[in-house]
């Protein structure tokens, strides 16, 4: 009997799984073929063996892709950053004029000054981070889990640095320990008053944000970041001098791949990392597809084709999760009558809204479109932290269309003690929408024109309505997009919903 072609078998699978137009028969025929794969005298035939083996590999590859999204998202950022700006604990790229759409990275915020660094506790050992005053910072491991810090007055500090961290924005010293570090650091090596944080991975993501009141004068937030010092524990005098390259000077591609390159990147990540016993089952999935720590990843041409299709399928699945399945989760919408989604509905950085399971839909949906998590981002804290309502749809439930024009009405007294902003993002990559404007966002400091009652109308579309340029964000015909409405230090009116934004309304 002629052998079936593996590639076309799985192209058929991808087409069946991703179809959403009611072609139940096509799906059933594929799934029936799997369920009814013939066995003879209790054993699979050669054709059944090939069909089911390839299906197993495809499924494990797709699930491994989704499982690893937090890690590969940030690993891609590390590789992309180091390619452009160089590597080392002393290299801290800063987007000195605010991050622009030319830097490709998931859901950046153009309304603060960013600094993003990548630390290697395997290569350099424990590191000391002197965080400057005024930052709102995060220390995450490379599965984007906040590092666990000290317990002070009954509270265990996790991940946050600066305004939402134990130094409370006054600046502080943090000692970062790798996952296999035993016991406590030697006496006398830890700077006085330092906070000790432990990581579950060798690699650590350092993420600073600083604020400004005048978009035309960013000297203060840049000076704050430039006060950062990072060095190996006990080696401050011999440390490499800090470097603060300008992230906008040479735009970097920090996006994770959507094809076979994802698994190639995953192999490099696995080789570099600590083996966490909690990950052994998922590492078994990786073994099935040819990824194993300490061994080269060298799939055959047929396997490469299969894994490439699995990666493309899994990426599209992650988008379905974000735009459809999360909508169906209890508590996923901020308001039952509106389209705004709460990507941290469980108020938990581990996406464990229940003590009985991890919400993999929320986890996959978030990390296919964003990076970094900390308690300050997810917990409901009045006048502290931040909230990130996001919408993919207009008032009528249709996906936002770059060729259409919309209005977003914001009632008076927007409840953000620090500031608010609205940003448009590419519907596929989740990077800042490359719309030709200096930044793909509008914020409170831009002083958009208010209505007579104190409310604000923002406009989105390919052209600005007459006289509305100051309140307008350009969109791109032929492209979908989504909007994040950020509130830094949200006030009580946001939480009790006495204030809430309208939906994006299509202009007729």
Q: What is the 3-state secondary structure (H, E, C) of 114-163?
A: EEEEEEECCCCCCEEEEECCCCEEEEEECCCCECEEEEECCEEEECEEEC
Strand (E) or helix (H) holding 195: strand 195-198
Q: What is the pLDDT of residues 440-486, one digit of tens each?
A: 999 999 999 999 999 999 999 999 999 999 999 999 999 999 999 99
Name the one residue in this structure whose structure tokens are 């209790």: 42
Structural domains of the chain, with CATH: 81-238 (2.60.40.1610), 321-506 (2.60.120.600)
Q: How far is 174 from 160, CA to CA, in rounded Å? A: 11
Q: How far is 160 from 376, CA to CA, in rounded Å? A: 7
Global pTM value: 0.91
Model confidence band, residue 10 (pLDDT cutoffs 50, 70, 90): very low
Helices 69-85 and 360-367 sit at what angle, rounded to 10 degrees? 20
What is the pLDDT, as a whole number, of residue 26? 59
Identify which of 392, 321, 397, 307 has the alpha carbon closest to the alpha carbon of residue 363: 321
What is the pLDDT, as a whole number, of residue 25? 56
Cα 312 from chain centroid (whole Å): 18
Model confidence band, residue 310 (pLDDT cutoffs 50, 70, 90): very high
Identify which of 74, 112, 73 has the alpha carbon closest to the alpha carbon of residue 94: 112
Instruction: For residues 258-284, give the mean pLDDT.
Output: 97
DSSP 432: B
What is the pLDDT, as a whole number, of residue 236? 95
Q: What is the CA radius of gyration of the chain?
A: 24
Q: What is the pLDDT of residues 51-98, one digit of tens each?
A: 999 999 999 999 999 999 999 999 999 999 999 999 999 999 999 999
The H helix count followed by the E strand count for the chain is 11, 22
Model confidence band, residue 27 (pLDDT cutoffs 50, 70, 90): low
Q: Is the pLDDT of residue 24 over 70?
A: no
Percent of the chain beyond pLDDT 90? 79
Q: How high does pLDDT run on average in the chain?
A: 91
DSSP 3-state assignment of 206? strand
Model confidence band, residue 385 (pLDDT cutoffs 50, 70, 90): confident
Q: Is the pLDDT of residue 107 over 70?
A: yes
Instruction: For residues 399-422, give the mean pLDDT.
Output: 96
Name the one residue in this structure whose structure tokens are 């030697």: 186
* Length of the chain measured in residues: 508
Q: How far is 111 from 420, CA to CA, in rounded Å? A: 9
Identify which of 287, 135, 118 has the alpha carbon closest to the alpha carbon of residue 201: 118
Q: Is the pLDDT of residue 1 over 50?
A: no
Range with the poorest average pLDDT among 126-135, 277-286, 371-380: 371-380
Q: How far is 19 from 14, CA to CA, in rounded Å? A: 8
């Amino acid at each position: 009997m002629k052998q079936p072609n593996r590639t076309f078998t799985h192209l058929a699978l991808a087409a069946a799984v991703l179809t959403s137009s009611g072609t139940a028969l096509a799906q059933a025929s594929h799934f029936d073929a799997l369920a009814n794969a013939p066995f003879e005298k209790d054993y699979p035939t050669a054709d059944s063996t090939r069909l089911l083996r390839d299906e197993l590999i495809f499924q494990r590859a797709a699930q491994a892709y989704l499982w690893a999204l937090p890690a590969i998202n940030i690993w891609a950022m590390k590789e992309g950053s180091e390619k452009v700006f160089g590597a080392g604990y002393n290299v801290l790229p800063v987007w000195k004029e605010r991050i622009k759409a030319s830097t490709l990275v998931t859901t950046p915020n153009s309304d603060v000054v960013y600094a993003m660094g990548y630390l290697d506790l395997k290569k350099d050992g424990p590191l000391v981070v002197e965080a400057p005053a005024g930052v709102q910072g995060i220390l995450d491991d490379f599965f984007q889990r906040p590092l666990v810090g000290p317990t002070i007055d009954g509270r265990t500090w996790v991940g946050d640095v600066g305004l939402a961290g134990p130094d409370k924005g006054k600046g502080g010293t943090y000692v970062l320990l790798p996952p296999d570090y035993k016991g406590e650091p030697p006496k006398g090596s830890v700077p006085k008053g330092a906070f000790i944080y432990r990581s579950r991975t060798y690699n650590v993501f350092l993420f600073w944000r600083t604020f400004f009141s005048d978009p035309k004068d960013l000297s203060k937030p840049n000076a704050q970041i430039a006060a950062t010092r990072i060095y190996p524990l006990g080696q401050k005098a011999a440390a490499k001098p800090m470097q603060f390259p300008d992230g906008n000077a040479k735009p970097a591609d920090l996006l994770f791949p959507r094809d076979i390159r994802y698994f190639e990147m995953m192999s490099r990540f696995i080789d570099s990392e600590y083996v966490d016993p909690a990950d052994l089952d998922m590492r078994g999935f990786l073994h099935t597809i040819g990824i194993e720590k300490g061994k080269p990843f060298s799939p055959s041409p047929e396997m490469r084709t299969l894994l490439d299709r699995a990666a493309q399928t899994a990426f599209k699945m992650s988008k379905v999760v974000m735009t459809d399945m999360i909508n169906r989760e209890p508590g996923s919408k901020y308001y039952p009558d509106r389209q705004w989604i709460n990507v941290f509905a469980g108020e938990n950085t581990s996406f464990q809204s229940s003590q009985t399971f991890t919400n993999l839909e929320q986890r996959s949906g978030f990390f296919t479109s964003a990076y970094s998590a900390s308690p300050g981002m997810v917990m409901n804290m009045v006048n502290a932290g931040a909230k990130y309502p996001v919408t993919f749809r207009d008032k009528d439930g249709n996906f936002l269309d770059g060729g259409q024009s919309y209005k977003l009405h914001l009632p008076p007294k927007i409840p953000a003690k620090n500031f608010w902003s609205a940003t448009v993002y590419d519907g596929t990559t989740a990077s800042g929408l490359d719309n030709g404007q200096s930044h793909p966002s509008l914020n409170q400091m831009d002083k958009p024109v208010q209505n007579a009652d104190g409310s604000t109308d923002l406009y989105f579309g390919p052209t600005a309505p007459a006289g509305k340029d100051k309140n307008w964000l350009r969109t791109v015909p032929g492209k979908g997009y989504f909007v994040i409405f950020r509130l830094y230090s949200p006030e009580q009116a946001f939480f009790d919903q006495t204030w809430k934004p309208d939906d994006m309304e299509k202009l007729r």
